[in-house]
Structure 1
Amino acid sequence: MFMEYDPAIYSRILTGLTLGFHILFATVGVGIPIMIALAEWMGLRKNDEHYRLLARRWARGFVVTVAVGVVTGTSIGLQLSLLWPNFMQLAGQTISLPLFMETFAFFFEAIFLGIYLYTWDRFKNKALHFIILIPVVIGASFSAFFITTVNSFMNAPQGFEITNGVLTNIDPLAAMFNPATPTKTAHVIVTCYLTSAFVLGMIAAYKLLKGNNHVYHKKALHMTMTSAFIFSIATVLIGDLSGKYLAEYQPEKLAAAEWHFETETEAPLIVGGVLDDDNNVSYALEIPYALSVLAHGDPGSEVIGLEEFPERDTPPLFVHYLFDGMVAIGMYLFAISGLYVAFSWWKKSWLSNKWLLRGIFIGGPLSFLAIEFGWVFAEIGRQPWILYGIMRTPEGATTADHVDSMLYLFIGLYALLGISCSLVLRRMYKHNPVEHELEQRGIESRGDRE
């Protein structure tokens, strides 16, 4: 039975579906270039063709995901105007600068990506080919930066005055570099790097679990897991700063995420649990003082509770599970990559341990799940506002008919894109296995030689 037609609800569902699908491709679109660059740089530094082949094969798959990302990214741009016309009418001039800069950054990336792919083996000096890749990495990361500043603005709007319901005296730079920008953009970019490292590491771990002990896969696993460990440390540090941002600028979002109902000092952190109708928490793990530390860096500091805010201005309490899931997966990725790095220094024989390889393999889909948890938490945790403190979400939505029909059409489109992308990638690598390419290029193919 279909729900009663409400254009605002259907607009939220369709936008959420588009963002949820696009974020998978946007994540690898930002993170894979830096992994390709690391692989090619290692190949140059060590004069090792295994690493250069890693870069070459990863780049092929990357192009396919970029193509899908372009389609879904375009959908988001169209949906902003079609589904959220009142929001765009109010804030469109303010966010136009980062939207334009994001497009420019993508064009910059795409142009050099095409040159990079075309010029393999065309330079006597291989370093020139690596240099062409640098603008791709910069363009991908800056594309993420600019588009994330739009979301930052929605969480911490500034750089304008409101006169009779209209934004005036607009300062696009002040709007773009708002208080949410440093932590939000840093968190988005570094988690893209972390997720991409784990996705590529997952592939190497899968090959090793299947008994393919070729040195190519071992080098891929070592490079991706070492990178992932560094990125996971950065993720933990930026996550801590993000908690402090929420405590200062969006305390109701932090309180909802932690089921913190009463303002108090020495506030504990609630992990897991079940909430009843009277806001009593059962079956949860309480970590003493941890919420005060997360919010203000001081175990004795005061943390504002939900009691301080009208219920109509607070986000739904299920965001607690999204927050917990995101943090739990982040800690898992930190632990499993740290374990790999420790074994690589201490006891190399343990690197082929099947449980370790299985843990790394599981980290691939978990890292994507953490991205989804984090993005949904960011959006739902801002509710009921589309523009925090200024415009509520239903006020920004279209009142047009047939948004439900658009939703069903886009579900079909995304299903087609997802299946097509998976089939293309699978056939691309299945019909050109790495062993065949190693043999073609005359690269050492025995699995027992480093």
Structure 2
Amino acid sequence: MTYDPVLYSRMLTELTFAFHIIFATVGVGIPIMIAFAEWSGIKRNDPYYLLLARRWARGFVITVAVGVVTGTAIGLQLSLLWPSFMRVAGQAIALPLFMETFAFFFEAIFLGIYLYTWDRFRKPITHFLLSIPVMLGSSASAFFITTVNAFMNTPQGFKLNNGSITDIKPLIAMFNPATPTKVAHVLSSAYMTSAFVLAAIAGAALLKKRESLYHRKALKLTMIAALIFSITTALIGDLSGKFLAKYQPEKLAAAEWHFETARQVPLVLGGILTEDHKIKYGLKIPFALSILAHDNPNSEVKGLNETPVAERPPLIVHYYFDSMVTIGIFLTVLSMASVWMVYKLKSVQYPSWLLKLIVLSGPLAIIGIELGWIYAEVGRQPWILRGYMKTVHGATTSTHVDLMLLLFCILYVAIGLTLVKVLRKMFKNSDVQEELKSRGIEGGPAQ
């Protein structure tokens, strides 16, 4: 096999992002859930919810530490693996990169204060207020770094003359056309995923201890949040489709295997694409792609044949897109069923089949995030900076990227195993019933 630095650079970057995005997602979403739990505890004078907030906060700190390591690796790899890209685009996106670091430090400072001031205020609401800057810092960090990715999809705010970047306008570059939908989708999906991950943990505990009131309250809170954010993510996803139809039509067309510009275009789920661009075994939803693109079943949707062959995204993105959408629909329906069972049926206990699906929802939500990111990045190919620089021209020419890939694989395996061991030990040695008793709470059967 011929050594290809571009291929290895892409593999290493993809590996790092795939690993980092898990911790980045929960790093953005968990603070929201912690705040929900503490607010519910204060409002209802319910110590169970307050204990939820305490325990979630302890686990959150560990994931933040891992997120810092992987985030640092991304910064390092941008400079080492993509020097030509950073030389051209780095100046235009320097502002959000700097602000992302500032937002993280802002979050870290208040997270430390939040963790070490439990029970130190006369009014519990004072401690809750400290969670607000933690939430703002984590979400702001996601906002700034997402604007960088948005810039790569719809670059503006600079001029490129003979390979040199001039007339830089950082704010215009930062607030590009992709920023609103990308930022909104990243934030809402992070909140949704975190809710499902915490719900899966509570569901697994309830499968073992069906009478646990603590875990039932945890599941109720997380599934309500999951429903809210699932619906929000779906609505923003619709806006993202309209953005793609206007600014990146080739990306939308590749996702739907839509080749000829036409009206009343169906949306295709699944299927197999033949060599002559015929779709077999796919489920076609009439008019759906025209509606997604322009809110009009008679609207015209640009086909992939309008794009030069050398600039078309890989057609495999169809499966990434379909899988992401399918997972999103499943999670939304599941959260609806869970909330309906609690409020409409007044069910005391969740049935085992529902708990098993809820346990499955955590990993599925993470997979959905991964698939969405892969679609976003692979769907932009062959561009690293759309319309200005192709990926092959932005990568390093170093002959040692394969060694870096091996070393980072070992690093991520070590970090992952250590994280699992630390979290298991932390919560195994911190029994819920013991904590309840230590705070004067009876953790008896659910009533």
TM-score norm. by structure 2 comes to: 0.99
* One of 83, 86, 93 as aligned partner of 1:88: 86
- The CA deviation at 1:351 is 4.8
- The CA deviation at 1:343 is 1.5
Q: How does 1:8-407 map to 2 (within 5 A)?
A: 8-349=6-347, 351-407=349-405
Q: How does 1:410-449 map to 2 (within 5 A)?
A: 410-449=408-447
Measure the CA separation in 1 of the matches of 2:420 and 2:119.
Answer: 28
Measure the CA separation in 1 of the matches of 2:188 and 2:118.
Answer: 28
Amino acid at match of 1:391: M
Amino acid at match of 2:53: A
Measure the CA separation in 1 of the matches of 2:349 and 2:159.
Answer: 58
- The CA deviation at 1:348 is 2.1
Q: Any stretches of 5+ residues in structure 2 without a counterpart?
A: none
Measure the CA separation in 1 of the matches of 2:445 and 2:49.
Answer: 15
Amino acid at match of 1:239: G
2:144 aligned counterpart, secondary structure: helix
Measure the CA separation in 2 of the matches of 1:338 and 1:176.
Answer: 37
- The CA deviation at 1:413 is 0.1
Amino acid at match of 2:88: L
Measure the CA separation in 2 of the matches of 1:349 and 1:173.
Answer: 52
- The CA deviation at 1:261 is 1.0
Measure the CA separation in 1 of the matches of 2:128 and 2:277.
Answer: 56
Amino acid at match of 1:329: I
Worse overlay, 264-273 or 353-362:
353-362
Measure the CA separation in 2 of the matches of 1:77 and 1:223.
Answer: 36
1:386 aligned counterpart, secondary structure: strand
- The CA deviation at 1:299 is 0.2
Contact 1:343 1:350 in 2 (8 A): no
Q: Percent identity?
A: 63
Contact 1:34 1:137 in 2 (8 A): yes
- The CA deviation at 1:214 is 1.3
Contact 1:340 1:351 in 2 (8 A): no
Contact 1:207 1:213 in 2 (8 A): no
Q: Deviation per CA, 1:280-300, whole angstroms, max 9, x where unpaired?
A: 211100000000000000000
Measure the CA separation in 1 of the matches of 2:211 and 2:359.
Answer: 15
Contact 2:19 2:412 in 1 (8 A): yes
- The CA deviation at 1:121 is 1.3
1:374 aligned counterpart, secondary structure: helix
Amino acid at match of 1:399: T
Measure the CA separation in 2 of the matches of 1:65 and 1:213.
Answer: 29
TM-score norm. by structure 1 comes to: 0.98
Contact 1:271 1:286 in 2 (8 A): yes
- The CA deviation at 1:403 is 0.4
1:270 aligned counterpart, secondary structure: strand
Measure the CA separation in 2 of the matches of 1:341 and 1:168.
Answer: 54
Q: How many pairs does the alignment contain?
A: 447
Q: Deviation per CA, 1:140-199, whole angstroms, max 9, x where unpaired?
A: 000000000000000000011122221211110000000000000000000000000000
Amino acid at match of 1:264: A
Measure the CA separation in 2 of the matches of 1:350 and 1:439.
Answer: 23
Amino acid at match of 1:9: L
1:400 aligned counterpart, secondary structure: coil
Q: Any stretches of 5+ residues in structure 1 without a counterpart?
A: none
- The RMSD of aligned alpha carbons is 0.9
Measure the CA separation in 2 of the matches of 1:355 and 1:321.
Answer: 28
Q: Deviation per CA, 1:71-116, whole angstroms, max 9, x where unpaired?
A: 0000000000000000000011101000000000000000000011
Contact 1:28 1:196 in 2 (8 A): yes
1:93 aligned counterpart, secondary structure: coil
Measure the CA separation in 2 of the matches of 1:62 and 1:349.
Answer: 31
- The CA deviation at 1:211 is 2.8
Amino acid at match of 1:294: L
Contact 2:16 2:70 in 1 (8 A): yes
Measure the CA separation in 2 of the matches of 1:276 and 1:444.
Answer: 63
Contact 2:348 2:446 in 1 (8 A): no
- The CA deviation at 1:433 is 1.5
1:94 aligned counterpart, secondary structure: coil
Amino acid at match of 2:422: V
Measure the CA separation in 1 of the matches of 2:225 and 2:181.
Answer: 21
- The CA deviation at 1:275 is 1.2
Contact 1:232 1:330 in 2 (8 A): yes
1:162 aligned counterpart, secondary structure: strand
1:399 aligned counterpart, secondary structure: coil
Measure the CA separation in 1 of the matches of 2:289 and 2:227.
Answer: 25
